[in-house]
Amino acid sequence: MLFVFDNLEIILEKSFGEVLKGKIGFCGLKECVMIWLNLSHFYSSFLVFGSIICLQNLHSETTGKVLCLIICCAVWSALKTINKQSIVIVACSETTLEDSAGLEAGADDIDILPNGLAFFSVGLKCPGLHSFSPDKPGGILMMDLKEENPRALELRISRGFNLASFNPHGISTFIDRDDTVYLFVVNHPEFKNTVEIFKFEEEENSLLHLKTIKHELLPSVNDIIAVGPAHFYATNDHYFSDPFLKYLETYLNLHWANVVYYSPDEVKVVAEGFDAANGINISPDKKYIYVADILAHEIHVLEKHPNMNLTQLKVLKLDTLVDNLSIDPSSGDIFVGCHPNGQKLFVYDPNNPPSSEVLRIQNILSEKPTVTTVYANNGSVLQGSSVASVYDRKLLIGTLYHRALYCEL
């Protein structure tokens, strides 16, 4: 079957002008599921479009199969380059680790309230990613870190919300002036993109679903930071929502990912030019927004203005794939869940699992921020760390699809 994508004209026009503009057909390319990785190598982009030009006159079915093979080879070569990064095994100082009950299938994101209640986004399913519970819907778990031996419990969600297709990704909490707690959840029901707003009802250990948000400027939402009861910044890790166009966008290193501000009155792009905008958070004084660009290995510092626009101040380059960001409210330090070897995330081997790494960034606004490794493991204990959140010298580390760890610093 021949697929013709009208949106491909946008890519060609924005990237190559009038030279390559036009509609091009492909076959079978959706089988390539190597996404979400650092493919920012010029030769990959050159190889893909060079192949398109050379194969345009071939039969459509042949074109698709050959092109798919070429792209897979280019992707694998790029991934092998990433995997050359060395892994340093470092133990948390005076830390005991315990498995967090109920979090065996991964906790991609974690957010902690000032009173020590921690929320976990669990059970994320993504194309190309391994899953230990492929048939189980996602959920939201909670843990009270003030308890002596904290245990995770799953929060009940109000009737009327489609639990069967719940696929939570990034999360963020917001406490209103009347102490109402709102939980914002990036959701991918059937791999689509919505933002769900819940009201947390502590006495019932439940979530009341208030609203589902969809918008054309939210085509590929990854993470979110709430700044009001119905207001937030969100990262789009891709410009397109179509899976095929996402793959192509990554292969061509187009830098079209962005950050969007949403309110009931206004929705707008406030920062763009990212390889793949991922984790997002806000400084304790609410003056700065931090954005992780996972494919570029960077953390961007942006100044927040009264009109909610953002201006980039600086970029911190790191030697690892940076995922979600959490802020220590007492110090302003940034804790980063990282992936030292991206290839292993997508080509899962239980005998050679993906490693985990947590970085702590101090004084990021200074000329020389301090970056230290808080936790690192070769996958024997924790696989694919995606987030690390701190509360009162307690550290929670979540993963894409493995377990979560509770550490006492």
Residue 144 has φ and ψ, to the nearest 5°, of -95, 105
How many DSSP H helices and E strands does the chain contain? 5, 27
**Which residues, 6+ apart, have CB-to-CB distance to 222 below 8 Å?**
169, 170, 186, 234, 235, 236, 237, 276, 277, 278, 279
Q: Hey, how many other C-beta atoms are within 10 angstroms of the C-beta on 95?
A: 16
Q: Which CA distances in Å does 378 have to 8, 86, 360, 397, 407? A: 40, 11, 18, 15, 17
**Which residues, 6+ apart, have CB-to-CB distance to 216 below 8 Å?**
none
Q: Is 99 annotated as a binding residue?
A: no
Q: Is 253 annotated as a binding residue?
A: no
Instruction: Describe the crossing of helices 243-251 and 60-82 by its angle, rounded to 10 degrees.
Output: 60
Q: Is 109 annotated as a binding residue?
A: yes
Q: Is 278 annotated as a binding residue?
A: yes
Q: Is 324 annotated as a binding residue?
A: yes
Q: Which CA distances in Å does 53 have to 8, 82, 149? A: 14, 28, 62
Report the amino acid identity of residue 385.
S
Out of 130, 169, 188, 238, the active site residue is: 169
Q: Is 223 annotated as a binding residue?
A: yes
Q: Hey, how many other C-beta atoms are within 10 angstroms of the C-beta on 345?
A: 24
Q: Measured between alpha carbons, how far is 385 from 337 in angstroms, rounded to an integer?
A: 5
Q: Measured between alpha carbons, how far is 95 from 144 in angstroms, rounded to an integer?
A: 19
Q: Is 352 annotated as a binding residue?
A: no
Q: Which candidate, 184, 171, 94, 125, places its Cα nearest to that of 326? A: 171
DSSP 140-160: EEEEETTSSS---EEPEE-TT
Q: Is 171 annotated as a binding residue?
A: yes
41 is catalytic: no
- Catalytic residue IDs: 169
List residues forming the annotated binding site for Ca(2+): 108-109, 171, 222-223, 278, 323-324
